[in-house]
């Protein structure tokens, strides 16, 4: 069986099912493993983490994945120093302030973008941006439970200026820790409360961002987004997966995914599995199973 490097959970650009992206270490080819409804078994090899490669942009602005040529180990972050230096995408969130841009990144940034307010299972809000080509998928991979698109801009620089305005004037954060998103999924999701609070904040943002009559670079919008399977998340008991995902053998059936986390079943118990814990780990897939300690849900 081949050794694979886990790259993360990937969502399609338009509505669809997620896949676990892995890199075959021997062939350097990316493989995609369907998650929803699948039984996933694997063994984590060793204790270290490895560079997950980088994003490269072509002259037309299209991005492509480039594997780490040296398959270097890493101690912090997800990339080695060489891949980090060559990764133009690291500038995408500061391009409107720094002015630095490569030709390929400029093509990517200078396409229409959307501004959104997203809310996660713990009730935390986030303001973010999505390229027109990733309008649906960006929110899916972020792990949002519900969201509103609040503005459209002719290019990514304009939309990032608006994003900073929302943060500065309304104190809405631009990042939420993956571990916090996953942990919150172990509790019942009050979808009505989350949707009401998201709609309220989104309207405050629209009211704040009304453009001047002569400004045609952006306009406000009112569109909603919801995670697939929201009803299922609103009911039932789930607990955090009790095993350390970065070592040993694991096996479970994936019932649903939210961002980089999965609601997985072992027997008649549902667990929340945070796949970000596997990013950069080398694994071997096969008929592996989880050996679980005796646990009891705190939810009744």
Q: Does the structure show a pLDDT above 50 at 299?
A: no
Q: Say which residue, 2 or 87, is predicted with more confidence.
A: 2
**What is the predicted pLDDT for the residue at 111?**
87
**What is the predicted pLDDT for the residue at 108?**
73
Q: Does the structure show a pLDDT above 70 at 9?
A: yes
CB 30 within 8 A of CB 21: yes
* Span 275-284, average pLDDT: 97
**Distance between the two ends of the chain, CA-based, in angstroms?**
42
- Neighbour tally for 188: CB within 10 Å: 14
Q: What is the pLDDT of residues 187-208, one digit of tens each?
A: 888 888 999 999 999 999 999 9
User: CA 234 → CA 191, 212, 227, 259, distances in Å?
Assistant: 6, 41, 12, 16
Q: Does the structure show a pLDDT above 80 at 300?
A: no
**What phi and psi values does residue 128 have, to the nearest 5 degrees?**
-155, 175
> Across all residues in the chain, what is the average pLDDT?
89
Q: What is the DSSP letter of 121?
A: T
Model confidence at 181, pLDDT cuts 50, 70, 90, reads very high
Query: Considering the chain, what percentage of its residues have pLDDT values greater than 70?
Result: 89
CB 116 within 8 A of CB 102: no
Q: Does the structure show a pLDDT above 80 at 294?
A: no
CB 119 within 8 A of CB 194: yes
Q: How far apart are CA 264 and CA 253, in angstroms?
A: 5
**What phi and psi values does residue 74 have, to the nearest 5 degrees?**
-130, 150
Q: Does the structure show a pLDDT above 60 at 297?
A: no
- Show me where the domains of the chain are located: 95-228
Q: Does the structure show a pLDDT above 50 at 228?
A: yes
Q: How far apart are CA 224 and CA 150, in angstroms?
A: 9
Q: Does the structure show a pLDDT above 70 at 1?
A: no
């Amino acid at each position: 069986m081949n050794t694979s490097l886990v790259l993360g959970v990937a969502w399609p650009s338009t509505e669809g099912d997620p896949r676990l992206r892995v890199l075959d270490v021997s062939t350097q080819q990316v493989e995609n493993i369907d998650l929803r409804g699948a039984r996933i078994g694997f063994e984590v090899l060793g204790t270290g983490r490895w560079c997950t490669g980088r994003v490269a942009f072509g002259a037309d602005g299209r991005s492509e994945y480039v594997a780490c040529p040296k398959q270097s180990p890493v101690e912090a972050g997800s990339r080695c120093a060489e891949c980090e230096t060559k990764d133009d995408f690291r500038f995408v969130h500061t391009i409107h302030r720094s002015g630095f841009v490569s030709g390929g990144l400029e093509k990517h940034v200078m396409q229409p973008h959307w501004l959104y307010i997203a809310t996660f299972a713990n009730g935390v809000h986030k303001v973010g941006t999505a390229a027109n080509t990733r309008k649906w998928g960006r929110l899916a991979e972020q792990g949002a439970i519900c969201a509103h698109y609040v503005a459209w801009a002719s290019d990514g620089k304009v939309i990032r200026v608006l994003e900073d305005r929302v943060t500065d004037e309304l104190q809405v954060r631009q990042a939420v820790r993956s571990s916090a998103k996953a942990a919150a999924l172990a509790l019942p999701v009050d979808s009505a409360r989350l949707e009401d609070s998201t709609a309220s904040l989104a309207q405050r943002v629209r009211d704040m961002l009304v453009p001047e009559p002569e400004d045609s670079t952006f306009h406000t919008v009112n569109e909603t987004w919801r995670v697939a399977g929201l009803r299922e998340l609103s009911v039932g008991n789930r607990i955090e997966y009790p095993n350390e995902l970065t070592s040993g053998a694991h096996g479970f059936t994936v019932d649903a995914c939210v961002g980089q986390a999965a609601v997985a079943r072992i027997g008649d118990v549902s667990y929340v599995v945070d796949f970000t814990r596997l990013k950069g780990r080398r694994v071997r897939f096969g008929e592996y199973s989880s050996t679980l300690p005796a646990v009891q849900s705190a939810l009744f």
